[in-house]
């Protein structure tokens, strides 16, 4: 096929040139222009320069200048070769060719890259260069624009999907690499740890690498690294304290083995120091607190003799009163281990721990958890701590005397006194060196050093106890106490227990002040107490009972040196029996045993008062408390034969001849209660108690009056009775069937049938305490609502009645006005 010939379209011919001289202007034209000046005003605003650029025929221009102007325009219109190569000719249908003055035709070209429709339209509107390009219609432009937008959105979605997939893949790769890195670190820790345990001297430098791994950002790696280092240090730490060589010792020439040992010890000590510092640093972070405290406590309990014990002990004591139960229990267990296993550290760690705890109590103004000083109960002291020591001079004199007796006198043949003195000094020095080496080599601790450390420990302990007692005598502060603490004195109960345990070691000079303090604390909480009534927080009944118990323990342990009247404590105990509330039966049972049941002869009036009050107490509380009280009553009746008159039921009561003939149940002093004028009618009710043990004990006590000549021996103490009854109460249930008595039967047969639950009995039939409590609450709420409704109805009736009376008064008043 041959090429199609393109049709040549010639441009239109230019109008003929007309000279200005030939142009004639008529009068009508002048008149029209003059009348319509506004219409011709635009001519004055025309830009003649821009018009001149586009006009080929320029007036008043020379021919040379005109030719150069044409040449410039022609050069601009000639296409560039580079542009022609990257351009496409426009079809004559779309754009007409251009014919130059020399008669050549030039077809327009466009670049190969297609521009957007919007840019082409904007450029076409801004400049008149593309005037000859064929323009699209609005519908075609809109369709093309929508198509381009869809393609752009589709391309953007594809790019977003590609980027998201790439990000997910990158994250997965990072996770995989992190897991692989963590696994490799775990294997590395295991390898290093096994190597260190197998041969610590050769692989001691691996400790630094393990420390670096434990500083990783992953929590699991950090925990594993700390625990691995803990196991390694527990195994390789020697049984002595490392002392690094001084500068002079380092300058000395030593053997290879000594150099190797020094390198090993210095590396071990530096790594251990870095590990301890790491534990103390991360102990402040909540995430690693438990792990770090566990490692610190384990190290302190395992190697208390090694270096940096003070740092570990300071961290443990700082957390001994923590609100976190796990942390607090770990610290308390570590301190208890120090107190019990003093052979590991020789007692030095015990002194440091007690002094730190004493300083902590002082800093926090006695507002700590009770466990912080409960650890003092695990301290142990020598019984002969206060006895005088045998002096060294006496031992030397004894040795000299024995030598003289045996004929081993030192030779005295030196003529010069100076030489004799020098020789004696040398002998004394040699003996001292030998004694020092012997002490260092022997496993037994020096007695004088042990006494010194125990004296320091005991001083810090009693300093803490006396500070707590002094703080308890003050009015309770408004500071909030810790959980598990009672009132504003959380440390009082463990302090009293400690004073009772170590009372035999207290100096006698402080006994009078101590007993006076206990007397005031026992009276705190009642109007008859010695402290002011404006105190915002009194002591509880159990704390006051404990003060009475401690006073009796102190008196008993120092019986030979003290002569103190305990009448005030009997009065406080007599009043506290009425204020007792269930929940602290152990303290009450201990008080009954120490104050009433121990081998002590009581006054008849006081013994009768306690018998009567304890019988009344047995009617109001549970079986465990009742059993403890009845055992005490039986013990008092056995020791005081005249008090058995309370068991008689004659017309005159159980009174005997005396100054007091009338019973006063609300008297505060047991000696003034007149209990001998009363009868133990409570025992008759207790024989019908639902618990068989209580009823049996009450029946046994009531029959004591009929056999006055018989000797009774009570073996069970109130504490034992309380514990046994508490254990039996867990497996005891009252049967629901009640045996109703007939009128013909005796009164003694009118009892409740009680049974003990056997192991094979189903316990599902027992009532649930929560359900019973809920039903009782609803019942009493209903009763309260009924009484409230009755009160409101009464008030409503009174108000209605008063309104009716007022209406009647108004009607009567109106009638009187009408009549008048």
- Examine the pLDDT at 183 and tell me if it is beyond 80: yes
pLDDT at residue 112, rounded to an integer:
54
Structural tokens at position 595? 């104050």
pLDDT at residue 510, rounded to an integer:
83
Of residues 55 and 584, more confidently modeled: 584
Answer whether 806's CB lies under 8 Å from 813's CB. no
Residue 156 banded pLDDT, cuts 50, 70, 90: confident
Answer whether 373's CB lies under 8 Å from 491's CB. yes
pLDDT at residue 32, rounded to an integer:
80
The pLDDT tens digits for 715-774 are 788 888 888 887 776 666 555 444 443 444 444 443 333 334 344 344 445 567 777 777
| Winning range, highest mean pLDDT, from 62-76, 240-254, 408-422 | 240-254
Q: What are the φ and ψ backbone dihedral angles of 371, each rounded to 5 degrees?
A: -65, -20
- CB count in 10 Å sphere of residue 30: 10
CA of 285: how far to CAs of 291, 297, 634, in Å?
10, 17, 60
Mean pLDDT of 41-45: 69
The pLDDT tens digits for 108-117 are 666 655 444 4
- CB count in 10 Å sphere of residue 201: 13
Q: Concatenated DSSP letters for 343-369?
A: GGTTTHHHHHHHHHHHHHHHHTTT-S-
pLDDT at residue 444, rounded to an integer:
59
The pLDDT tens digits for 321-380 are 999 999 999 999 999 999 999 888 888 999 999 999 999 999 999 999 999 999 999 998
Distance from C-alpha of 469 to C-alpha of 498, rounded to nearest angstrom: 12
Distance of CA 593 to the CA centre of its chain: 39
Answer whether 593's CB lies under 8 Å from 723's CB. no
Torsion of CA 355, 360, 362, 367, to 10 degrees: -140
Quote the crossing angle between the two packed helices 718-730 and 623-639, to the nearest 10°. 150
- Examine the pLDDT at 485 and tell me if it is beyond 50: no
Distance from C-alpha of 510 to C-alpha of 383, rounded to nearest angstrom: 19
Pairing status of strand 87-89 against strand 109-111: antiparallel
- Examine the pLDDT at 174 and tell me if it is beyond 90: no
Q: How many residues make up the chain in this entry?
A: 820
pLDDT at residue 610, rounded to an integer:
92
pLDDT at residue 815, rounded to an integer:
84
pLDDT at residue 144, rounded to an integer:
76
Answer whether 288's CB lies under 8 Å from 282's CB. yes
| Winning range, highest mean pLDDT, from 64-78, 110-124, 141-155, 235-249 | 235-249
The pLDDT tens digits for 506-560 are 888 888 888 899 999 988 754 444 443 334 357 888 999 999 999 998 888 876 5
Distance from C-alpha of 714 to C-alpha of 186, rounded to nearest angstrom: 67
Residue 179 banded pLDDT, cuts 50, 70, 90: confident
CA-nearest of 576, 650, 657 to 617 is 576
Structural tokens at position 119? 């840019």
pLDDT at residue 483, rounded to an integer:
40
Of residues 776 and 6, more confidently modeled: 776
Among 103-107, 203-207, 685-689, 751-755, the least confident range: 751-755
pLDDT at residue 634, rounded to an integer:
92
Give bridge partners of residue 87 from the DSSP assignment. 111
Mean pLDDT of 407-433: 63
pLDDT at residue 88, rounded to an integer:
60
Mean pLDDT of 800-819: 86
- Examine the pLDDT at 250 and tell me if it is beyond 80: yes
pLDDT at residue 711, rounded to an integer:
42
Which residues are CB-neighbours of 789 under 8 A, at least 6 positions away?
none
Half-sphere exposure of 59 (CA within 13 A, CB side): 7
- Examine the pLDDT at 582 and tell me if it is beyond 50: yes
Distance from C-alpha of 231 to C-alpha of 189, rounded to nearest angstrom: 12
User: Cα Rg for the chain, rounded, in angstroms?
Assistant: 55
Q: Is residue 459 classed exposed, middle or buried when 0-12, 13-18 and 19+ CB atoms within 10 A define those classes?
A: middle
Q: Is residue 110 classed exposed, middle or buried when 0-12, 13-18 and 19+ CB atoms within 10 A define those classes?
A: middle
Q: What percent of the chain lies above the pLDDT cut of 70?
A: 69
Of residues 445 and 252, more confidently modeled: 252
pLDDT at residue 421, rounded to an integer:
67
Among 267-281, 358-372, 385-399, the least confident range: 385-399
CA-nearest of 574, 470, 481 to 526 is 574
Answer whether 291's CB lies under 8 Å from 223's CB. yes
Query: Mean pLDDT score of the chain, rounded to an integer?
Result: 76
pLDDT at residue 481, rounded to an integer:
43
Of residues 544 and 132, more confidently modeled: 544
Provide the 8-state DSSP code for 652.
T
- Mapped onto helix, strand or coil, the DSSP state of residue 699 is helix
Which residues are CB-neighbours of 811 under 8 A, at least 6 positions away?
none
- Examine the pLDDT at 699 and tell me if it is beyond 50: yes
346: left (phi over 0), alpha (psi -120 to 50) or beta: left
The pLDDT tens digits for 69-104 are 767 766 665 555 555 555 565 555 556 777 777 777
pLDDT at residue 28, rounded to an integer:
80
Quick one: three-class SS letters along 480-493? CCCCCCCCCCCCHH
Distance of CA 365 to the CA centre of its chain: 20
């Amino acid at each position: 096929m041959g090429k199609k010939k393109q049709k040549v379209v010639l441009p239109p011919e230019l109008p003929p040139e007309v000279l200005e001289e030939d142009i004639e202007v008529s009068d009508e034209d002048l008149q029209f222009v003059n009348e319509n000046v506004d219409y011709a005003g635009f001519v004055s605003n025309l830009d003649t320069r821009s018009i001149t650029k586009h006009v080929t025929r320029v007036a008043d221009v020379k021919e040379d200048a005109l030719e150069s102007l044409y040449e410039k325009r022609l050069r601009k219109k000639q296409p560039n070769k580079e542009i022609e190569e990257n351009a496409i000719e426009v079809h004559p249908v779309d754009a007409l060719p251009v014919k130059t003055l020399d008669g050549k035709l030039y077809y327009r070209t466009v670049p190969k890259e297609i521009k957007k429709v919007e840019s082409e339209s904007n450029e076409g509107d801004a400049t008149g260069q593309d005037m000859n390009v064929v323009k699209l219609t609005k519908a075609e432009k809109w369709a093309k624009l929508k198509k381009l937008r869809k393609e752009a959105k589709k391309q953007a979605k594809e790019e977003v999907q590609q980027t998201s997939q790439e990000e997910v893949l990158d994250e997965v790769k990072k996770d995989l690499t992190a897991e692989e890195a963590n696994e490799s670190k775990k294997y590395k820790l295991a390898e290093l740890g096994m190597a260190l345990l197998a041969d610590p001297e050769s692989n001691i430098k691996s400790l630094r690498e393990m420390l670096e791994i434990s500083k990783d950002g992953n929590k699991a790696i950090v925990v594993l690294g700390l625990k691995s280092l803990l196991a390694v240090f527990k195994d390789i730490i020697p049984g002595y304290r490392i002392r690094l060589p001084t500068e002079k010792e380092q300058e000395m020439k030593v053997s290879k083995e000594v150099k190797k040992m020094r390198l090993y010890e210095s590396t071990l000590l530096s790594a251990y120091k870095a590990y301890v510092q790491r534990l103390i640093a991360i102990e402040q972070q909540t995430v690693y607190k438990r792990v770090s405290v566990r490692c610190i406590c384990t190290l302190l309990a395992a190697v208390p003799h090694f270096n940096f014990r003070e740092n570990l002990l300071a961290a443990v004591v700082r957390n001994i009163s923590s609100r976190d139960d796990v942390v607090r229990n770990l610290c308390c267990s570590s301190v208890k281990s120090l107190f019990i296993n003093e052979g590991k550290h020789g007692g030095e760690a015990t002194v440091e721990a007690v002094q730190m705890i004493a300083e902590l109590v002082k800093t926090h103004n006695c507002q700590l958890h009770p466990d912080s000083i409960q650890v003092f109960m695990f301290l142990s002291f020598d019984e002969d701590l206060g006895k005088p020591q045998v002096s060294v001079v006496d031992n030397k004199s004894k040795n000299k005397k024995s030598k003289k007796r045996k004929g081993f006198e030192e030779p005295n043949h030196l003529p010069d006194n100076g030489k004799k003195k020098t020789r004696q000094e040398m002998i004394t020095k040699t003996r001292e060196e030998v004694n020092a080496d012997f002490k260092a080599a022997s496993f037994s601790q020096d007695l004088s050093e042990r006494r010194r450390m125990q004296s320091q420990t005991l001083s810090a302990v009693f300093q803490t106890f006396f500070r707590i007692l002094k703080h308890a005598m003050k009015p309770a502060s408004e500071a909030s106490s810790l959980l598990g603490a009672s009132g504003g004195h959380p440390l009082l109960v463990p302090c009293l227990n400690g004073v009772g345990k170590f009372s035999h070691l207290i100096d006698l000079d402080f006994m009078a002040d101590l007993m006076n303090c206990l007397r005031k604390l026992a009276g705190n909480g009642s109007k008859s107490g010695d402290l002011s009534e404006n105190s915002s927080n009194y002591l509880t009944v159990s704390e006051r009972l404990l003060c009475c118990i401690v006073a009796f323990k102190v008196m008993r342990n120092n019986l030979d040196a003290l002569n103190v009247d305990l009448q005030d404590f009997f009065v406080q105990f007599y009043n506290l029996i009425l204020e007792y509330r269930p929940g602290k039966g152990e303290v009450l049972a201990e008080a009954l045993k120490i104050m009433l049941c121990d081998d002590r002869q009581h006054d008849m009036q006081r013994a009768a008062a306690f018998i009567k009050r304890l019988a009344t107490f047995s009617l109001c509380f549970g079986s465990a408390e009742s059993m403890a009280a009845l055992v005490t009553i039986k013990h008092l009746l056995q020791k005081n034969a005249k008090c058995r008159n309370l068991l008689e039921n004659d017309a005159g009561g159980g009174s005997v001849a005396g100054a007091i003939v009338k019973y006063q149940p609300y008297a505060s002093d047991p000696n003034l209660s007149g209990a001998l004028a009363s009868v133990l009618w409570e025992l008759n009710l207790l024989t019908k108690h639902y618990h068989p043990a209580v009823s049996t004990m009450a029946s046994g006590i009531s029959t004591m009056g009929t056999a006055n000549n018989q000797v009774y021996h009570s073996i069970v103490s109130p504490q034992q009775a309380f514990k046994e009854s508490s254990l039996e109460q867990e497996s005891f249930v009252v049967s629901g069937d009640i045996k109703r008595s007939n009128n013909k039967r005796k009164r003694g047969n009118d009892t409740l049938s009680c049974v003990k639950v056997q192991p094979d009995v189903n316990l599902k039939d027992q009532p649930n305490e929560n359900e019973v409590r809920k039903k009782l609450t609803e019942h009493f709420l209903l009763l309260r609502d009924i009484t409230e409704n009755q009160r409101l109805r009464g008030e409503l009736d009174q108000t209605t009645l008063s309104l009716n009376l007022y209406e009647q008064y108004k009607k009567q008043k109106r009638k009187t006005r009408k009549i008048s």
